[in-house]
């Protein structure tokens, strides 16, 4: 890993924590992969699963609960993060550093769609989706750090994230700025809005695409008791949210205090800094009310730190930044 970049922290009051309804445990099936940290997972029209590994490889898993084939289709230069199966069958890939790419799944060819926005190179392209009309939207978690130093954004506590739109002429424009670690993004089933997550802000919001509120942002769920990561839209319209971890008590304590403390802590080895608790946690929210409607929460010795998720084959499939595997469980019943 490269040397740590400097940070410029500010005093910050983290969001309060509002409890969610208890969600059940579940029996987890762990699917080992030939590489580490499959951050996101998506499913294509043929039932194949796709994910990206920390070393840049994009892999395809054959359909089923116990995939027989795991094929490396392409390798990116940056770390692949959020994925999306486009309407035309291409796999959209966020990379950090690098930007937004498109993968031809048959040829294995990668094309760069967006490398910079407004003359600034993308550093942490995080997640991507398409609206029903085919418009591509994507997030950047922070403009100051790449994935290799994602903890720097938490130490700084500055709203450097954004939601972007890719126009037909290839221009990327900012639609929402000033976000606290923008992350997952997914459309509502009716296409009226996008739901996006702010990991440090611990909230889900809606960016309206249609109607009188088009172009505005309204809250969906705030004061979450966990750190929201990637999102996906379920078959019944519910919004699945990967909850990577509960908040770190040490980080919460440090945030409103002198920034000097975080500058000093940032210089220490990672093992001496606040860490994330590796549990398995996912919650589904109603796209209109924001109420929790389903979920799973458990612990497993070979899986945790859920960062991506998708409904496939009657299962909830999950990705992670902490283990060399995907995992799945039966689709949780409504609460």
Q: Each residue of 215-269: pLDDT tens digit?
A: 999 999 999 999 999 999 998 999 999 999 999 999 999 999 999 999 999 999 8
Residues 144-159, mean pLDDT to the nearest whole number:
96
- DSSP per-residue codes, 207-273: EE-SSTTTT-EEEEE-S-SS-EEEEEE-TTS-EEEEE--PPPHHHHHHTTS-HHHHHHHHTS-GGGS
The first and second tokens of residue 234, run together, are 């379920």
pLDDT score, position 83: 98
Give me the percent of the chain exceeding a pLDDT of 70.
99
The first and second tokens of residue 34, run together, are 């030939």
Rounded to whole angstroms, the Cα distance separating 146 from 2 reads 11
Rounded to whole angstroms, the Cα distance separating 334 from 23 reads 10
Per-residue pLDDT band for 1 (boundaries 50, 70, 90) equals: low
* Long-range pairs, 313-317, Cβ under 8 A, ≥24: 313/47, 313/63, 313/64, 313/65, 315/65, 316/240, 316/282, 317/41, 317/43, 317/49
pLDDT score, position 3: 84
Contact, 19 vs 45, CB < 8 A? no
Residues 196-223, mean pLDDT to the nearest whole number:
98
Kindly list the structural domains of the chain, giving each domain's residue range(s) and its CATH number in brackets, ordered by start: 29-330 (2.120.10.30)
CA 250 to chain centre: 23
pLDDT score, position 273: 85
CA 105 to chain centre: 22
Q: Each residue of 32-73: pLDDT tens digit?
A: 999 999 999 999 999 999 999 999 999 999 999 999 999 999
End-to-end CA distance of the chain: 43
User: For the stretch 271-306, what's the b/e string if a residue is b when 16 or more beta carbons lie within 10 angstroms of its beta carbon?
Assistant: eebbebebbbbbbbbbbeebebbbbbbbebeebbbb
pTM, 2 dp: 0.97
pLDDT score, position 274: 81
Q: What is the overall mean pLDDT for the chain?
A: 96
pLDDT score, position 2: 64
Indicate the DSSP class of residue 108.
T
Indicate the DSSP class of residue 155.
H
Per-residue pLDDT band for 275 (boundaries 50, 70, 90) equals: confident
Cβ within 8 Å of residue 247, ≥6 positions away: 14, 17, 202, 225, 226, 227
Rounded to whole angstroms, the Cα distance separating 50 from 85 reads 9
The first and second tokens of residue 292, run together, are 């929790």
Per-residue pLDDT band for 123 (boundaries 50, 70, 90) equals: very high
Q: Each residue of 77-108: pLDDT tens digit?
A: 999 999 999 999 999 999 999 999 999 999 99
Q: Each residue of 286-306: pLDDT tens digit?
A: 999 999 999 999 999 999 999
């Amino acid at each position: 890993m490269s040397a740590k970049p400097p940070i410029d922290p500010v005093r910050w009051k983290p969001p309060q924590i509002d409890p969610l309804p208890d969600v059940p445990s579940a029996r987890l099936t762990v699917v080992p992969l030939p590489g580490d940290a499959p951050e996101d997972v998506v499913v294509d029209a043929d039932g194949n699963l796709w994910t990206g590994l920390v070393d840049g490889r994009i892999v395809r898993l054959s359909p089923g609960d116990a995939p027989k084939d795991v094929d490396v289709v392409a390798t990116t230069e940056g770390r692949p993060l959020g994925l999306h199966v486009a309407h035309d069958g291409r796999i959209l890939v966020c990379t950090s550093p690098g930007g937004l790419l498109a993968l031809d799944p048959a040829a294995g060819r990668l094309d760069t769609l967006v490398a910079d926005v407004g003359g600034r190179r993308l550093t942490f392209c995080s997640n991507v989706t398409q609206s029903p009309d085919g418009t591509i939207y994507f997030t950047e978690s922070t403009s100051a750090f790449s994935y290799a130093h994602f903890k720097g954004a938490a130490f700084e506590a500055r709203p450097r994230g954004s939601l972007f739109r890719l126009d037909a002429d290839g221009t990327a424009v900012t639609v929402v700025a000033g976000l606290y670690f923008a992350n997952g993004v997914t459309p509502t089933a009716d296409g009226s809005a996008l739901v996006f997550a702010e990991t440090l802000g611990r909230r889900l919001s809606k960016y309206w695409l249609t109607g009188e509120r088009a172009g505005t942002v309204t809250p969906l769920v705030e004061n979450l008791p966990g750190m929201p990561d990637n999102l996906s839209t379920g078959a019944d319209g519910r919004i699945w949210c990967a909850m990577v971890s509960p908040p770190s008590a040490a980080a919460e304590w440090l945030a409103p205090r002198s920034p000097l403390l975080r500058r000093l802590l940032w210089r220490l080895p990672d093992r001496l800094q606040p860490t994330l608790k590796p549990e398995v946690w996912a919650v589904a929210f109603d796209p209109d009310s924001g109420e929790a409607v389903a979920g799973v929460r458990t612990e497993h010795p070979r899986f945790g730190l859920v960062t991506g998720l998708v409904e496939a084959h009657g299962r909830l499939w999950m990705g992670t930044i902490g283990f060399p595997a995907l995992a799945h469980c039966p689709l949780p019943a409504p609460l």
